[in-house]
Structure 1
Amino acid sequence: MTKTLASRRPIAGRSGPSATAFSASVRLAGLADLDALVALENASFVDERASRRSIRYSLRSPTMSVLAAVIEDGEGEVLVGAATLERRRGGKIARLASIAVASSRSGQGLGGLLLDAAEAEARRHGCTRLRLEARTGNHGAIRLYERYGYTYYATKDDYYQDGTAALCYEKAVASV
């Protein structure tokens, strides 16, 4: 059984004559989603990819939550995005370790839907802040985070395998 974290809401597709709206929801991912999560990970990241084993570990971990953004395609659910949150037992800060949206669905609001769900999941576990890192050249992600109220607080030099720095952001997600 899966638990829906964010209510199903319509998402606007790309503009133009073939534009369509679709409903998307976010739920906790389970082991049945493993193949789709691995495929999304491999399609979304060149470096810093989580392995199948690592994703399976995340799905089973009591201090991690893997969120799945899904749409209905007439034949069932299709996983079109995912986010992974990490927490420490008793800690008040959650970390968004990863967020990915299928390239075919980029720019359609799914990143924001996943961020909303990640914040709700952090609150559900008693966290008051959510932190994340963004590759310095990932301007789309940086715009999204800033639009959602995340505040820059530090730079981590040489953070990624290729030597790229990370910009660190955080947001209060619950009143203290």
Structure 2
Amino acid sequence: MTTSLSETGSVVEIRDALLSDIPALINLENNSFTGDKLSRRQFRWMLKQGHCSLIIALVTEGDVQMAAGYILTLFHRGTSLARIYSVAVDPAFRGQKVGQTLLQAAEQAAIDHECMALRLEVRPDNPAAISLYERNGYRQFGYYEDYYEDHAKALRFQKRIRKPPQGLKLDVPYYQQTLPFTCGPASLLMAMKALSPELEMSRLLELQIWREATSIFMTTGHGGCGPRGLALSAWQRGFAVELWINRDGPLFIHGVRKGAKKEVLELVHQSFSDQLAKTDVQLHTVDITQEAVSEAIERGGVPLILISSWGFSRQKSPHWVVITAIDEHYIYLHDPEVDEEDSKTLLDTQHVPVPRRAFSRMSRFGKDNLRTAVILFKRGVDR
């Protein structure tokens, strides 16, 4: 809990909001906005289940305490990105640095959550808010058309509250997967494009790679792509490939129950293994370490890493991402999936900073602690 003094001498108390504050929060919404309002149900969900910080400002004048504003910050699971989702200051208290105090409290909450950057959206016709953000070091980096309820555009701002990547960096174009089961092909497209700028990333190629590399069956739905299939697809397109995988045999087989499906997975595994034996793909049958990832990037490689999506979406499924940078504290990645249900946007999935210790947990999958990576290089380059 922190307190400060406004210019009028009134005491401004800043604290985490409680369920008992919901009526005051609703009143702030109604006094501050004409559209795009948060509902009572949404506030309740945020306070009980949301991965967020909801801070309220209370002003005391004499014996009366009134809600002057609030700020809601969302934290993306498994990453070091935070997003200021909503800020409201009651018109009666504007000009008394309530917004400034709330913004500083949100930044401290983000620092406490080990976040690297804060992002937000603001209307172009809200110069007071834009001025506040710019005075506090936020810089515009994009916009969305037709974002608000009245079809107004949203300006996107960001502030780094920790230093940007200080280590190895890769120039990796972004591609969003177009189907729930094509994270592998989408990640492979990004890696290939980074090494061959002339390559056209298209949905047709995404689907073609999926057809080549799919493991046929997964725990639910369509089959996803395993490391052997992706390595073959990259090699067949002219790239040198290193394949890291710490276990033998067909992968994801524990996720299917029927014997016929297990048999298919075994056949597919054997086919991929036989094809790989006829290539010069370098196979490493040990854990892929963060040190090995750094060394590969230094040698010109672009790594695809299989992670557990539990850290992002609380769903236990394998998920491919592309590493774009690595430094002393963070690993940065392109996530091909834009999860709108988790309030993510296209820009929230690019160069996502993940603390290295969190990435260590994230980059193993299943009961077998599978760790695997497919690392692409330009063919003919001395590795």
TM-score (norm 1): 0.89
Contact 2:74 2:83 in 1 (8 A): yes
> Which structure dedicates a bigger proportion of its chain to helix?
2
Distance 2:57 2:118 in 1: 19
Please state if 1:75 is matched with 2:85.
Answer: no
Contact 2:10 2:61 in 1 (8 A): no
Please tell me the root mean square deviation across aligned C-alpha atoms, in Å: 1.3
Higher relative contact order (CA 8 A, sep 6+): 1
Higher Cα radius of gyration: 2
Match of 1:22 in 2: 10
Match of 1:11 in 2: 6
Distance 1:76 1:31 in 2: 20
1:8 maps to a residue whose letter is T
Q: Which runs of 5+ in 2 are unaligned?
A: 165-383
Aligned equivalent of 2:88, options 94, 100, 104: 100
Please state if 1:162 is matched with 2:157.
Answer: no
Distance 1:128 1:61 in 2: 23
Q: Give CA-to-partner distance per residue, 1:10-47, whole Å, 9 cap, x none.
A: 111xxxxxxx3222121100101011001111111111
Distance 1:31 1:66 in 2: 11
Kindly state the Cα deviation for residue 59 of structure 1 after the two structures are TM-superposed. 1.2
The aligned length equals 164
Tell me the SS of whatever aligns to 1:21: coil
Q: Percent of aligned positions with the same letter in both sequences?
A: 37
Match of 2:38 in 1: 50
Tell me the SS of whatever aligns to 2:102: helix
Distance 1:81 1:174 in 2: 26
Please state if 1:123 is matched with 2:118.
Answer: no
Match of 1:15 in 2: none
> Which structure dedicates a bigger proportion of its chain to strand?
1
Distance 1:47 1:72 in 2: 28
Distance 1:171 1:114 in 2: 15
Q: Which runs of 5+ in 1 are unaligned?
A: 13-19
2:39 maps to a residue whose letter is S
Q: Which runs of 4+ in 1 moved over 4 A?
A: none
Kindly state the Cα deviation for residue 77 of structure 1 after the two structures are TM-superposed. 3.4
1:168 maps to a residue whose letter is R
TM-score (norm 2): 0.42
Kindly state the Cα deviation for residue 79 of structure 1 after the two structures are TM-superposed. 1.4
